[in-house]
Amino acid sequence: MKSLIRQRLEAIVKELYGFVPEAYNLEVPREKAHGDYATNIAFLLAKNLKRKPDDIAQEIANKLSDAYLQAQALRGFINFKFKEELLKEEFVKLLENPQLYFFEKVKEPLYMMVEFVSANPTGPLHVGHGRGAVVGDVLARILERFGHKVVREYYINDAGYQVYLLGLSVLYRYYELYGKEDLQLKEVFEREGYRGEYIKELAREVKELYGSSLLEKDKEEAIDFLREFATKKLLEEIKATLQEFGVFFDSWVSEKGLHQEGLVEEVLKELERRCYIYEQEGALWFKSSTFGDDKDRVVRRSDGTYTYFAGDIAYHYHKYRRGFQKVINLWGSDHHGYEKRLMASLKALGIPEDWLVVEFVQMVKIFKEGQEVRMSKRTGDFVSLQELLQEVGKDAVRFVFLTKTSDTPLDFDIDLVKKKSSENPVFYVQYAHARIRGVFREVKERYGIDADSSDLRPYIRELDSQEDIELIKKCLFLKDVYEGVLDSFSPHLITYSLIELAKDFHHYYNHHRVMVEDKKVMLSRLTLFKGVELTLKTAFEILGISAPERM
RNA sequence: GUCCCCGUAGCUCAGUAGGAUAGAGCGCGAGAUUCCUAAUCUCGAGGUCGGAGGUUCGAAUCCUCCCGGGGACGCCA
């Protein structure tokens, strides 16, 4: 709907004044009386043309109005109102094929990647990961609907010290099972080890499978073996949780694999060739400060091992060479300071600046009985995503994770989300769908009219009350919302619009009955409900939540 | 100490590249069911948009300073 205005507006402005100002607004005005959309373009033109905004707005408005669109100049603003004919024609398109209507294919589809979750395989997923998972998943779904080719990737940090500590922690617990003490091991474990209950479980599993054979083994060898064993197990667990959460990946890339394939060495050589690498105190440094980072960073330690950063440069260079035209990374907010560094490395490698977009996903704080539940992987005291899913269900978790912009912290009140009441927005929205399905069942039973298979399009004509038109608009508006998500990578906009749509629907439902004497009115309202149903269903598919028949 | 994010109704937050009279949900108060699901609806109270300057036709939004909250600053990942 918005792009419809935009096209016409720009054409006319260009015709009248020879240019279109860059940063003009076209948005839904706060005040309903100001129409469906409004623009400030006349103010911007006024500056350039040295004329009164009022006059310019008037000029444009006069040229713009036609059978479909009413444009009105008011104190320098131009207000647009869609005429009923246009709204009804658009609504027919929606009824015929919601997918086609809501997601117009982009002209130039891109080969894209969304990299998300990428949690270290050192423990179960926590709720913060869950938030990233939903945001990434929904983003990927939207990009796909608009015609982009999207690969969802999970980067596995299975190299380096953290997974070494994982192996060490399992070994410590394993020794414990046999009453074996190792002071050096104990010292490291108590300082940095993973203490969650799941480590003990892994140790027990090892005992069951391999008995006491690891007691004889060299300690480092045993840690190596257990690291391998534990990351594999935990990764399986992560995959299972994600699957239960409705999140799937096309591709899993291992950090260790990058090292083994020599990609890390290769990219460092490339950086060296470009003269961005130097040696100091026995370590190799990357000159990230030349590209806006605060200081230079180590890529190879003095002991000869590579840093996580080195692996990450290689990973992204590899992504680039795999042919992705645009990459979106979803990172936990604790990686905020890391962005500059990585961007610097990409610049150094000659990769275009807008190739990579990093979106940050902030913390989720869990509240239970009014108390914050503290989370720490080290001490093992945390609510896992698995537990949360079991407690409140997939639909509620996914929806709530999308009710705020991902870059602000989210408070998740378990007790509130468990409530099946209006306090809980997901039920409010799903209830609208269930109510419509209920009406359809009833109409079929009483009158033998099947809303799912009948051609209802002709009855749109009969809809003419203010509230009919408002509801139609709310459905059509979702199209603009999806396009907004495509531009801003902010899937949370969808939940807001859905709550508004549901609100208008519930209002309508309480004021107008479908099953009335006048058949024409009945059929027209059935048509309206069909459109709302399809709009909701399409949105639920994108959000990955269910569209219940009854509640 | 340096850098980043945030401060909007009692609470949790929207406010989409500076726009028109400041938005929603929850909570609170009052009401609605002979009729397709009351998990709903209707009405109401509630605000110096953290503070002070500045930029301009116009500021919650941009700039400077201050106050308050959170995060990041490893040869960890």
Residue nearest to nucleotide B38 (CA to C1'): A510
**Which nucleotide does the CA of A411 lie closest to, via C1'?**
B12
Which 8-state DSSP code applies to residue A306?
B
Q: What is the mean pLDDT of residues A436-445?
A: 95
**Which nucleotide does the CA of A302 lie closest to, via C1'?**
B75
With tokens 């027990």, the residue in question is: A204
With tokens 């799937």, the residue in question is: A248
Ranges of H-type helices in A331-393: 338-348, 385-392
Distance measured from the CA of protein residue A510 to the C1' of nucleotide B33, in angstroms: 11
Residue nearest to nucleotide B16 (CA to C1'): A484
**Which nucleotide does the CA of A46 lie closest to, via C1'?**
B57
Written as six digits, the tokens of A435 are 């109510």
Which 8-state DSSP code applies to residue A19?
-
Distance measured from the CA of protein residue A422 to the C1' of nucleotide B40, in angstroms: 9
Lay out the sheet containing A69-74: strands in order across.
Answer: A26-27, A37-39, A77-82, A69-74
Distance measured from the CA of protein residue A336 to the C1' of nucleotide B73, in angstroms: 10
Residue A407 has pLDDT above 80, yes or no: no
Q: Are strands A111-115 and A149-156 parallel, antiparallel or unpaired?
A: parallel
Supply the pLDDT for residue A369: 67
Helix (H, G, I), strand (E, B) or coil at A245: coil
Distance measured from the CA of protein residue A51 to the C1' of nucleotide B35, in angstroms: 60
d(CA A69, CA A86): 8
Distance measured from the CA of protein residue A53 to the C1' of nucleotide B55, in angstroms: 21
Supply the pLDDT for residue A44: 84
Architecture of domain A425-543: Orthogonal Bundle (1.10)
Distance measured from the CA of protein residue A20 to the C1' of nucleotide B59, in angstroms: 25
Q: What is the mean pLDDT of residues A467-478?
A: 90
Supply the pLDDT for residue A446: 92
Supply the pLDDT for residue A36: 86
Distance measured from the CA of protein residue A464 to the C1' of nucleotide B20, in angstroms: 29
Reported confidence tier of residue A151, pLDDT bands at 50, 70, 90: very high
Nearest to A351 by CA among A320, A328, A323: A320
Residues A483-538: tens digit of each pLDDT: 888 888 888 888 888 888 998 999 999 999 999 989 999 999 999 999 999 999 99
Residues A86-132: tens digit of each pLDDT: 999 999 999 999 999 999 999 999 999 999 999 989 988 888 888 88
Supply the pLDDT for residue A410: 79
**Spatial contact of A270 and A350, defined as CB atoms under 8 Å apart:** no
Distance measured from the CA of protein residue A475 to the C1' of nucleotide B44, in angstroms: 30
User: What 3 state SS string does A31-74 have?
Assistant: CHHHCCEEECHHHHHHHHHCCCHHHHHHHHHHHHCCCCEEEEEE
Residue nearest to nucleotide B42 (CA to C1'): A507
**Which nucleotide does the CA of A435 lie closest to, via C1'?**
B37
Nucleotides of chain B touched by protein CB (<7 A): 2-6, 12-27, 32, 35-37, 39-42, 57-58, 70-77
**Which nucleotide does the CA of A507 lie closest to, via C1'?**
B41
**Spatial contact of A550 and A489, defined as CB atoms under 8 Å apart:** no
Distance measured from the CA of protein residue A294 to the C1' of nucleotide B1, in angstroms: 15
d(CA A483, CA A488): 9
Residue A30 has pLDDT above 80, yes or no: no
**Which nucleotide does the CA of A299 lie closest to, via C1'?**
B75
Supply the pLDDT for residue A421: 61
Supply the pLDDT for residue A371: 66
d(CA A299, CA A105): 42
With tokens 């380096």, the residue in question is: A160
Distance measured from the CA of protein residue A289 to the C1' of nucleotide B73, in angstroms: 15
d(CA A466, CA A451): 23
Distance measured from the CA of protein residue A209 to the C1' of nucleotide B63, in angstroms: 66
Residue nearest to nucleotide B56 (CA to C1'): A47
Q: Are strands A297-300 and A410-413 parallel, antiparallel or unpaired?
A: unpaired
Supply the pLDDT for residue A37: 87
Instruction: Tell me the pLDDT of chain A averaged across its residues.
Output: 88
**Spatial contact of A378 and A198, defined as CB atoms under 8 Å apart:** no
Supply the pLDDT for residue A254: 94
**Which nucleotide does the CA of A481 lie closest to, via C1'?**
B16
Supply the pLDDT for residue A5: 86
- Pick among 3.40.50.970, 3.30.1360.70, 3.20.20.140, 1.10.3680.10: CATH of A2-82: 3.30.1360.70
Distance measured from the CA of protein residue A37 to the C1' of nucleotide B62, in angstroms: 24
What residue segments make up the domains of chain A, in order of their start?
2-82, 161-244, 364-417, 425-543
**Which nucleotide does the CA of A431 lie closest to, via C1'?**
B39
Residue A19 has pLDDT above 90, yes or no: no
**Spatial contact of A189 and A168, defined as CB atoms under 8 Å apart:** yes
Q: Are strands A69-74 and A77-82 parallel, antiparallel or unpaired?
A: antiparallel
Per-residue burial over A94-127, b = 16 or more CB atoms within 10 Å of its CB, e = otherwise: bbeebeebbbeeeeeeeebbbbbbbbbbbbbbbb
Distance measured from the CA of protein residue A63 to the C1' of nucleotide B16, in angstroms: 27
Per-residue burial over A238-257, b = 16 or more CB atoms within 10 Å of its CB, e = otherwise: bbebbeebbbebeeebbbbe
**Which nucleotide does the CA of A493 lie closest to, via C1'?**
B16
Non-local (6+) Cβ contacts of A508 within 8 A are A467, A471, A528
Residue nearest to nucleotide B25 (CA to C1'): A423
**Which nucleotide does the CA of A39 lie closest to, via C1'?**
B19
Residue nearest to nucleotide B32 (CA to C1'): A510
Helix A127-145 and helix A394-401: axis angle, to 10°? Answer: 80
User: What 3 state SS string does A81-120 have?
Assistant: EECHHHHHHHHHHHHHCHHHHHCCCCCCCCEEEEECCCCC
Same fold? A2-82, A425-543:
no
d(CA A97, CA A535): 10
Residue nearest to nucleotide B33 (CA to C1'): A510
Supply the pLDDT for residue A363: 76
Reported confidence tier of residue A422, pLDDT bands at 50, 70, 90: low
Helix (H, G, I), strand (E, B) or coil at A333: helix
Supply the pLDDT for residue A396: 87
Residues A259-303: tens digit of each pLDDT: 999 999 999 999 999 999 999 889 999 998 888 787 899 999 999
Residue A382 has pLDDT above 60, yes or no: no
Q: Are strands A251-254 and A111-115 parallel, antiparallel or unpaired?
A: unpaired
**Which nucleotide does the CA of A25 lie closest to, via C1'?**
B17
d(CA A473, CA A469): 6
| A107-111, A172-176, A316-320, A465-469: range with lowest mean pLDDT | A465-469
Residue A419 has pLDDT above 70, yes or no: no
ipTM of this complex: 0.87
Reported confidence tier of residue A29, pLDDT bands at 50, 70, 90: confident
How many CB atoms neighbour CB A49 within 10 A? 15
| A97-106, A349-358, A440-449: range with lowest mean pLDDT | A349-358
Non-local (6+) Cβ contacts of A179 within 8 A are none
Phi-psi region of A48 (alpha: psi -120 to 50; beta: other; left: phi over 0): alpha
Distance measured from the CA of protein residue A45 to the C1' of nucleotide B59, in angstroms: 20
**Percent of chain A topping pLDDT 70:** 96
How many CB atoms neighbour CB A367 within 10 A? 15
**Spatial contact of A17 and A49, defined as CB atoms under 8 Å apart:** yes
First to last CA, chain A: 33
